[in-house]
A and B are shown apart, each in its own frame.
Chain A
Amino acid sequence: MGADIGGGGGGSGQDPLSPPGSVLVLGVGNILLADEGVGVRAVDAFRCRYVVPAAVEILDGGTAGMGLIDLIAGRKHLIIVDAVNAGGAPGSIVRLAGADIVPFLRQRLSPHQLGLLDVLAYLQLMETAPESVTIIGITPDDMSLSLDLSPPLQAALAGIADRIADELTGLGVPLVRAGEA
């Protein structure tokens, strides 16, 4: 681990969720191109819908490529949320993990995946890649110039936030809905 945050001792070294920020939820995409920015909008929706625990950091990665290296380096788990043209109706969600990711990325539909694939490869070379990488992909509808999501994607945001929550729960992160604490 590259993180330098003191864990406070107490033998918590085996805890998969320490130190704070061990899990990065990274929304990527270009918010100037409507649904292309759904990843960024979705992590915002998650932030509004759930109380974000200390183990998790939520990040708007925007259109960045190499600039993400420093932000991903040393994390245990990485969850990427992005527009992915996996077919199906606009707003459909696909989950990709492990060996799925590379072959799927070769289908290349959202251009950022290529950037992220490179970033992940650089992290491997630097021996600071996350143990697990998961992509939550959303089928876009409209990729034209607009700051607003298309209606079907706007309607899908809450469901995407819940899928992010499921993913985190699967990693052993307990979650509480905002306002229910």
Chain B
Amino acid sequence: MRITVDPITRIEGHLRVDCEVDGGKVVDSWSSGQMWRGIEVILQGRDPRDAWVFTQRICGVCTTVHAIVSVRAVENALGLEVPLNAQYIRNMIIAAHGVHDHIVHFYQLSALDWVDIVSALQADPKAASNLAQSLSNWPMNSVQEFTRVQEKLKGFVASGQLGVFGSGYWGHPAMKLPPEVNLLGVVHYLQALDYQRRANQIVGILGSKTPHIQNLAVGGVSNPINPESQSTLTLERLYKIKALIDQLGDFVNQVYAVDVAAVGALYAEWTKYGSGVLNYLSVPDMPLDTKGTQFALPGGYIKNGDLAGMKAITSYQDQYFEKGVKESSKHSWYQSTSGALHPYKGETKPEYTGFQDTGKYSWVKAPTFYDDRAQVGPLANVLAMYALGHEPTKRHLTRVIEIASKVAGAPIPLAALHSTIGRHAARAVRCAVLVETLDQQWNLLMQNIAKGDFDTYNRPRFPRGEIQGFGYHEAPRGVLSHWTVIRDGKIANYQAVVPSTWNAGPRDEKDALGPYEASLLGNPVADPQKPLEVLRTIHSFDPCLACAIHMHDPVNREIVRVKAV
């Protein structure tokens, strides 16, 4: 039986997933991007200093990350160094954005794949509160809070509509949490709405404007630093940021990490599903010097799950990364006469054919790293940081696994991370690491200002002739890279290889399945009309192509349009 999950989405184009289901399991799958993305075309001939203003409009979720990577790519082409203050300010923006994104992803965009809102109505608030307090000393786990939230939820249900909750698969046989844990999930879902705002406020203060930041420049940032002026980045604003960082740390460590561990332990069978592609690619981030050769967070390439044999990526000039990336259009709706192409040579010439199972079926290209598929995202990054001995990663990962083992009543091995639930666990670990990094970058900025260094910008100078460069960022959904060729100071070619391309790409030059596709093989499907289990695995990647995968269907209010044939 063939099922097509064709969700309603926004901005970057729809994600469509087709699965062949046999005996309650997925036996083949196709991941297809349904909308053409043409940013590359709009940038040709433009001033490279302006590219970031346009790239941050590619997507409604990942605005900041496309802005940052764009300036990094142009700086790389110019060999331009970036003042320390600018690095720290950019690092804080992307760390805060990452924290925001991870919190929203777990609670608002995927928790309801696992937590049954309607079941929470049956919970005993006192028992639920006791359970929460046995796992964490979060002050907002009180009986009063749990009772208040349950009453509020009852109000929604009594009014005949579940509001944002109207589109879930409530009562689905794959929903297995006891009512008390469901209530715990709902309480923290609402608290997360408040805390994600605080992370965004940091981006707003430093970026001068949200939703689209305005403070970037090729060569640094445009934030003037003057501790004595009210109109610049003042100490008052910096201390406001510090307070927000501390509040986020409390929420992430005492709520988010604990919830992921507990929910994961109660769905332990989901550590057996969803692994897929075991090549993991991530890049180092949070540069600590002006050239981009030292980083707070490491990254690299893990082939076939072999942590011991991993290869680190070490600088913004890293040849191993630069030379390894290619994109295949063999199964994508672009002309593809000359095989997989390096992004500097990348082409974006549409050739739509309709959906062909063995031919072309997606607007997304299929990226490869040294001709192999690679999974990107927090799991790839956490595995790399763990393998490279990054202390905060080891500490937070150990803690999450310990809590999960306690709830499960049995030790959970590290290898459980190669799974649907493992991607959620890794994202929570990375979020905890990011909050620490945010704090570290704040301290570095304060120390540097205290030394009397107020520099934030180095002026770029564009040579005649042709130069090329790339920039990368370990974004919330994984490796994001922009590649540009600049001729006589104008953009001659521009390619964005986005995280969801790595993960959602179709079959490649060798017809190998992409990470989404491979992860679905063997995935259970109890009811083809309500493929909750397929959504669980796809959501675990945090798909940006389907950033609205959780939204209401305008007509029947289901999350997705499902066609079972």
Contact = CB atoms under 8 A, between A and B. Distances in A.
A114 B548 contact: yes
A66 B554 CA distance: 19
Contacts of A112: 10-11, 60
Contacts of A61: 211
B158 to A, nearest CB: 15
Given A67-B210, A70-B197, A124-B163, A30 B57 contact: yes
Contacts of A30: 11, 57, 60
Contact of A69 (B11, B39, B197, B548): B197
Contacts of A146: 42
B39 A32 contact: yes
Contacts of A121: 163-164
Given A32-B42, A108-B554, A114-B551, A66 B104 contact: yes
A62 B11 CA distance: 10
B542 to A, nearest CB: 13
Contacts of A31: 57
Contacts of A60: 212
A126 interface: yes
B348 to A, nearest CB: 11
A60 B60 CA distance: 12
B178 interface: no
Nearest to B198: A70
Nearest to A146: B42
B108 A65 contact: no
Nearest to B61: A65
Contact of B108 (A66, A68, A73): A66
B163 A114 contact: no
A152 interface: no
B437 interface: no
A169 B61 CA distance: 34
A64 B8 contact: no
B161 to A, nearest CB: 10
A146 B61 CA distance: 21
B565 interface: no
Task: Please indicate which of the listed interface residues B38, B104, B193, B554 has the most CB atoms of chain A within 10 Å of its own CB.
Answer: B554
Contact of A106 (B100, B212, B555): B555
Contacts of B548: 65, 111, 114-115
Nearest to B64: A67
A125 B42 contact: no
Interface in B368-410: none
Contacts of B193: 69, 122, 125-126
B41 interface: yes
A122 B108 contact: yes
B223 interface: no
A72 to B, nearest CB: 11
Interface string A132-162: 0000000000000111000000000000000
Given A32-B57, A106-B554, A117-B552, A111 B200 contact: no
Given A30-B11, A126-B190, 16 more contacts: A30-B57, A63-B11, A63-B211, A64-B211, A66-B100, A66-B200, A69-B197, A70-B200, A70-B210, A108-B8, A111-B10, A111-B11, A117-B552, A122-B193, A125-B164, A145-B42
Interface of B: 8-11, 38-39, 41-42, 54, 57-61, 63, 100, 104, 108, 163-164, 190, 193-194, 196-197, 200-201, 204, 210-212, 547-548, 551-552, 554-555
10 contacts: A30-B60, A32-B39, A63-B60, A64-B63, A66-B196, A67-B210, A115-B60, A118-B552, A125-B163, A126-B190
> Which 10 pairs from chain A and chain B are nearest by CB?
A111-B10, A64-B211, A63-B60, A106-B554, A67-B211, A121-B164, A108-B554, A145-B38, A70-B197, A114-B551
Interface of A: 30-32, 60-71, 73, 105-108, 111-112, 114-115, 117-118, 121-122, 124-126, 145-147
